[in-house]
Structure 1
Amino acid sequence: MAESSDEHAAMQHYLVCGTEDCQQNGEFYCNACHRQLCEQCRDEHMKSSDDQEHEIVLYRHRKHQLPVEKCKLHPTRNIDMLCRECQIPLCSKCSTMKQHKGHEFDDLEEIYSVKYALWQGEFSKIQKYFLPTTQGLKTEVENDAIEIKKIMKSIRTSMKVESESLKNLVDQVTSENINHSHTMEKSLLKMLKSQETIHDDYIAYLGKMMGEFQEYLSTTNQKLLFSKTLKIHPIPQTTKPVPPVFTAGRFNKNDVTKLLGKVNVPNTKPEKRKIQPMEAVTTHMKFTEKQSQQSKEKSDNKQTLSLSSSVTKVRKYNVPGVVNAYHVSMDKSGRLWASDWSGNLAQTDLQGNLLLKINANNGSIGYHTVTRDGGLIYSDMHKKAIYRITPDRKITEFIKTGDWAPLSVHSSRINGDILVGMERNKDAKVTRYSKTGKEIQNIQRNNQGQKLYSDPRYIAENINGDICTSDYNKRAVVVAKKSGQHRFSYKGRGSEFLPWGICTDVLGHILVCDKDNKSVHLLDQDGRFLSIILSPQQGIKDPRGLCVDDENNLYVGQFDTNTVTVYKYLQ
């Protein structure tokens, strides 16, 4: 496993030729000498009469050297063969012993190399298939858990809504029943009140009759005995009220459950998670390897490029959504980003159709950069933050820069690092972040402790890792090594020079806009002036933004128009 890790690490770094005093790329390997070779040293190696029979292959196809192990019987000899009959490793001297007489032997290094390749393949499968596939399934499970939580929360909300609805209906029915009982009570009491009045009237009638009878019975009025007979009216008939009866509702917990509903697990067989077959991943791996080889061949072809004797205009882009083009960025799919002095940032396709427009709170600085995955990173100097726009146009905050205002930003094509030019009060610096947003490095002063930057408005990275910054206040292109050491500063050709947009190309050239002379300067990797490749004579009025695409075309944005012009300057 350790050897596999070493193998992986070696693939991530520059391979150096094993020939003494040679520092070229060791892309070849001698299986006999077990040594890395550059192309030139390989040719020299094959010319030697002693080495002509050596097998030289590409480094990735090499045979792995057999680990050194001393023979226990012959400590001065290395174990380097395998007895086919006995299936034990031994040294060359062991093979002459009588117990191995007549036996056949295999080269142990050949067996080791085959086994190593086999286990490396298995290790690669873990890295490229089993681990990412399982991690993908784990992520799917985590997403399902999040979704389940959302669903259950929604169900609980629905339950509460149903319960509240039932409670409201219960309150409504109860209120109606109570009101009806009051109405019934009022009606019954009215009827009883009427009966009271009837009996009161009859009692009054009886009182009157009693007075009359007493008069008749008086001894002084015996004559009345002979007058008329008094008759008493019968007692008025009234009815007893029938009291209302409350009939209680008949329900139980199940009835309420039926009314409110309940949570059930559907009687559905769980669907198995889809696991991408290893064949599909292997095919993708092969395709990726083919792409890598094509990319290498393309890179080899680029090394044959040179400056053209003339600059040719290729095409123009009209970028709706901006009034001018102070900065331009080109992604691999041919979509162009441009920003103007008002902070408008717009994306257009090859036909000039507006795809996206935002306001990034920035102006005439190089505050956006395309990433290797086809997205965009841009800074917001007022919010002191850096944002990411994914290829599907989702915008998320990526990095907070504290109390430093991020001006310029560049995404490395070498390793995906993010370079940010910043300022705070009268200080300025360049900060390097990893592609995940972790702060790695701060570059602020030169070897003498002097301030390296003042106003880093545009920034780019060269093919050797140099950090090239267009510093407006210093009126210079300031170039620092990847380590942060100051390499050189370019301040024009003796006349006034005010740098704006800056970029680099596949040959290590540095291209920079000169506002004062309305031109584009071309420098070599070490800051030596080569030429003015664009000037008013080529139709350039006031260049501001620059970028170079994968086809080595130069994109130029200007102050006076939202048209971006494309030029070919390499052949």
Structure 2
Amino acid sequence: MHPRRSIQQVLLCDLCETVPLQSHCEVCNINLCKACVGEHLSGSFERHNVMPYLQRKSTPNYPKCPEHAEKPCELHCENCDIHVCIKCVSSGKHEGHKLSEFPEKLSVKTQSLQKDLEELETRIYPRYEEMTYDVQTERADIETYYGKLKTAAEEEGELLEREINAIVKQRKSEIQEMKNKHLFTLYKNADEITQIITELRQIISDLKSILKSNDVSLISNYKSRNSEFRTLPPEIRVTLPSSTPQKINTDQLREMFGCLSPLSINTEHGGTVKLAEAVSSPLVKPLLDEPRLAAIIDTGYSGLYSVSCLSEDQVWTCGNNNTMKLLNLQSKLLTSIQTKSGDTPRDIAVTRDGDLVYTDYDSVRLVKNKKIRTVITLQDWVPHYVCSSASDDILVTMVSVYLKQSKVVRYSGSKEKQNIQFDDQGRPLYSSGYSYKFISENRNLDICVADWSARTVVVVNQSGKLRFRYTGHPSNTEQSFTPVGITTDSQSHILTADSENQRIHILDQDGQFLRYIHCDLRRPFGLCVDIRDSLFVAECDTAKVRKILYLSAQC
């Protein structure tokens, strides 16, 4: 590094580059030591303005005029769109043209640069960092996924091998059985012939004895049996079995083995990072003066805790047992899922893909196609309430095992991306202890937590910085504010269930109270809204879900 550029070195004179600087010439925009000041002032007839370095102003470094090298361009000709100096103007070449001073032009340009810098730092660069993190996460997931494919191929191969081995074993058994039968037949035939040979030998011996004896009675009593033996015993004709191996049909074998779907790689448009002021506003939906009850769903629980919308007419629910139920507006049970651990789920949420997420004793689990997969397992923390974010991350409120700390953690798949626990002064954002802390992400990406124990709704921005706390409306004098369930809508309204006061508070995105929803609610607990901003309220005591219309565009 150049010695004059290092922050560890003393700043040196721009002329001699050996002595520490003391002065600054505003006109020439150079730094000077004491000795070089005199040389600078005496070496030219130009006007100079030398001052102590610490008293220097933030003087723009004007470009030199291409036609009058000794003069800086302090003006800009709008007609010619070029920088000009005083001599250019006095020459008459730009007579009648619109001239603007450089400071004015510079100020506008500086503001534009400042906006570019702010956008790059706060929006564009973080998005690229997030994309890099997503790619790294996807690489890890790919390793796992392709590993599973290889394992599945090995298992399929082992299955086929077992089937082939079984077929070979059966074939060998059949061959042995045929061989035994064949040998038995041959042995039996040989025994019969051996018996006849024995008998023939005896007859031959007897005949020889008779002929030698010349005994008349023996000769006269002899009866020939030759005709009996002239007919030979039957010959055994056996057609030997043969094995005709079939030619292996590779295509059929591959078909038996199953097939891989083709790898499809599509490059999609990466989207655009929008400016804050350029974000399009949603359709404005004014609040109704009187919210309207649209439907009541009977869940069948004895105590109902959470509700999450799958669609406009289907909701997931969980209550005081280990079964999560998918119901329609007519209270018909469509699907039910039991928790993997057998424990009661603490909370449920539906992801952007329509899968169900729920929190268990020490885990966050995902239900996809009725199969339960553990996504997150914790050791020193206990997960409580959960929501799915606009970026398809999972936000989880949790408490330490000793109930002394609480926090919010953002996960992308199984990877922790963000930890929200303290404010800028290092103070806890959320109350400690085992209490309800429902969570929701607003349309402006704020993270909203209903902290029941603290009697407060805590709202932080996307970076985890505290935006505001809401502790209830001043008119709330009968009973303390008791926030439990919380949700948000397309208007960035924040809705929270005030269970002990039997009502819903509606706030704007900055925490300003707008209105109550009553609708004869009985201990409202869990909340959610569907894509049309219909509000679903889970009543704890009645175990019913109420669908409420509270925005004018819904009717």
TM range, smaller chain: 0.5 to 0.7
1:400 to 347, 360, 376: 376
Does 2:157 match 1:180?
Answer: no
Aligned residue pairs total: 396
TM-score by length of 1: 0.54
Q: Structure 1 residue 163: deviation in Å?
A: 3.7
Q: Please give the secondary structure, in 2, of the residue aligned with 1:188.
A: helix
Whether the 8 Å CA contact 1:398–1:437 is kept in 2: the answer is: no
Q: Structure 1 residue 420: deviation in Å?
A: 1.0
Indicate the residue corresponding to 1:167 in structure 2.
Answer: 172
The aligned amino acid for 1:368 is: I
Does 2:314 match 1:330?
Answer: no
The aligned amino acid for 1:397 is: R
Any unmatched runs of 5+ in structure 2?
1-65, 72-81, 84-146, 253-260
Q: Structure 1 residue 189: deviation in Å?
A: 3.4
In structure 1, C-alpha distance between the alignment counterparts of 2:218 and 2:447, rounded to whole Å: 136
Does 2:488 match 1:509?
Answer: no
In structure 2, C-alpha distance between the alignment counterparts of 1:523 and 1:325, rounded to whole Å: 25
Whether the 8 Å CA contact 1:456–1:469 is kept in 2: the answer is: no
The aligned amino acid for 1:189 is: T
Q: Structure 1 residue 172: deviation in Å?
A: 1.7
In structure 1, C-alpha distance between the alignment counterparts of 2:219 and 2:232, rounded to whole Å: 34
Q: Structure 1 residue 236: deviation in Å?
A: 8.3
Q: Please give the secondary structure, in 2, of the residue aligned with 1:416.
A: coil
Indicate the residue corresponding to 1:311 in structure 2.
Answer: 290
**Are residues 246 and 430 of structure 1, via their aligned partners in 2, closer, same or farther at CA, if it must alter by over 3 Å?**
farther
Residues 368-447 of structure 1: pairs in structure 2 closer than 5 A:
368-381=348-361, 384-389=363-368, 393-397=369-373, 399-403=375-379, 404-413=381-390, 415-427=391-403, 428-446=405-423, 447=426
Q: Please give the secondary structure, in 2, of the residue aligned with 1:300.
A: coil
**Are residues 364 and 306 of structure 1, via their aligned partners in 2, closer, same or farther at CA, if it must alter by over 3 Å?**
farther
Indicate the residue corresponding to 2:248 in structure 1.
Answer: 262
Whether the 8 Å CA contact 1:370–1:411 is kept in 2: the answer is: yes
Whether the 8 Å CA contact 2:394–2:413 is kept in 1: the answer is: no
In structure 1, C-alpha distance between the alignment counterparts of 2:511 and 2:526, rounded to whole Å: 20
Q: Structure 1 residue 522: deviation in Å?
A: 3.2
Q: Please give the secondary structure, in 1, of the residue aligned with 2:181.
A: helix
Whether the 8 Å CA contact 1:471–1:477 is kept in 2: the answer is: yes
Q: Please give the secondary structure, in 2, of the residue aligned with 1:410.
A: strand
Indicate the residue corresponding to 2:538 in structure 1.
Answer: 557
Whether the 8 Å CA contact 2:529–2:535 is kept in 1: the answer is: yes
Q: C-alpha deviations, 1:493-529, integer Å up to 9, x for none?
A: 5643443211123344332223333332334444455
Q: Structure 1 residue 170: deviation in Å?
A: 1.4
Q: Please give the secondary structure, in 2, of the residue aligned with 1:458.
A: strand
Q: Please give the secondary structure, in 1, of the residue aligned with 2:365.
A: strand
Does 2:320 match 1:344?
Answer: no
Residues 109-508 of structure 1: pairs in structure 2 closer than 5 A:
160=165, 162-195=167-200, 256=243, 258-263=244-249, 265=251, 300=281, 302=283, 304-308=284-288, 310-319=289-298, 322=301, 325-360=304-339, 361=342, 363=344, 365=346, 367-381=347-361, 384-389=363-368, 393-397=369-373, 399-403=375-379, 404-413=381-390, 415-427=391-403, 428-446=405-423, 447-448=426-427, 452-454=431-433, 455-492=435-472, 493=476, 495-508=479-492
Indicate the residue corresponding to 1:113 in structure 2.
Answer: none
Q: Structure 1 residue 410: deviation in Å?
A: 0.6
The aligned amino acid for 1:191 is: I
Q: CA RMSD in A?
A: 5.4
In structure 2, C-alpha distance between the alignment counterparts of 1:275 and 1:470, rounded to whole Å: 44
In structure 2, C-alpha distance between the alignment counterparts of 1:355 and 1:467, rounded to whole Å: 32
Indicate the residue corresponding to 1:79 in structure 2.
Answer: none
Q: Please give the secondary structure, in 1, of the residue aligned with 2:545.
A: strand
In structure 2, C-alpha distance between the alignment counterparts of 1:518 and 1:147, rounded to whole Å: 54
Q: Structure 1 residue 340: deviation in Å?
A: 1.8
Q: C-alpha deviations, 1:389-437, integer Å up to 9, x for none?
A: 3xxx454526122324332111113x22210122342245444445444
**Are residues 311 and 557 of structure 1, via their aligned partners in 2, closer, same or farther at CA, if it must alter by over 3 Å?**
farther
In structure 2, C-alpha distance between the alignment counterparts of 1:439 and 1:458, rounded to whole Å: 19
Q: C-alpha deviations, 1:82-126, integer Å up to 9, x for none?
A: xxxxxxxxx99xxxxxxxxxxxxxxxxxxxxxxxxxxxxxxxxxx
The aligned amino acid for 1:177 is: H
Q: Which moved more, 1:195-204 or 1:333-342?
A: 195-204
Q: Please give the secondary structure, in 2, of the residue aligned with 1:326.
A: strand
In structure 1, C-alpha distance between the alignment counterparts of 2:316 and 2:234, rounded to whole Å: 83
Q: C-alpha deviations, 1:19-49, integer Å up to 9, x for none?
A: xxxxxxxxxxxxxxxxxxxxxxxxxxxxxxx
The aligned amino acid for 2:416 is: E
Q: Structure 1 residue 460: deviation in Å?
A: 0.9
Q: Please give the secondary structure, in 1, of the residue aligned with 2:506.
A: strand
In structure 2, C-alpha distance between the alignment counterparts of 1:172 and 1:472, rounded to whole Å: 79
Q: Structure 1 residue 348: deviation in Å?
A: 2.9
Q: Structure 1 residue 452: deviation in Å?
A: 4.7
In structure 1, C-alpha distance between the alignment counterparts of 2:328 and 2:548, rounded to whole Å: 18
Indicate the residue corresponding to 2:113 in structure 1.
Answer: none
The aligned amino acid for 1:179 is: F
Indicate the residue corresponding to 1:54 in structure 2.
Answer: none
Q: Structure 1 residue 566: deviation in Å?
A: 2.1
In structure 2, C-alpha distance between the alignment counterparts of 1:250 and 1:145, rounded to whole Å: 45
Whether the 8 Å CA contact 1:334–1:349 is kept in 2: the answer is: yes
Whether the 8 Å CA contact 1:419–1:433 is kept in 2: the answer is: yes
Whether the 8 Å CA contact 2:348–2:359 is kept in 1: the answer is: yes
The aligned amino acid for 1:552 is: D
In structure 1, C-alpha distance between the alignment counterparts of 2:185 and 2:417, rounded to whole Å: 80
**Are residues 401 and 527 of structure 1, via their aligned partners in 2, closer, same or farther at CA, if it must alter by over 3 Å?**
farther
Q: Structure 1 residue 375: deviation in Å?
A: 3.6
Q: Please give the secondary structure, in 1, of the residue aligned with 2:172.
A: helix
Indicate the residue corresponding to 1:539 in structure 2.
Answer: 520
In structure 2, C-alpha distance between the alignment counterparts of 1:197 and 1:488, rounded to whole Å: 124
Whether the 8 Å CA contact 1:379–1:387 is kept in 2: the answer is: no
Q: Please give the secondary structure, in 2, of the residue aligned with 1:513.
A: strand
The aligned amino acid for 1:502 is: I
The aligned amino acid for 1:423 is: V
Indicate the residue corresponding to 1:569 in structure 2.
Answer: 550
Whether the 8 Å CA contact 2:297–2:328 is kept in 1: the answer is: no
The aligned amino acid for 2:389 is: S
Aligned sequence identity (%) = 25
Whether the 8 Å CA contact 2:388–2:394 is kept in 1: the answer is: yes
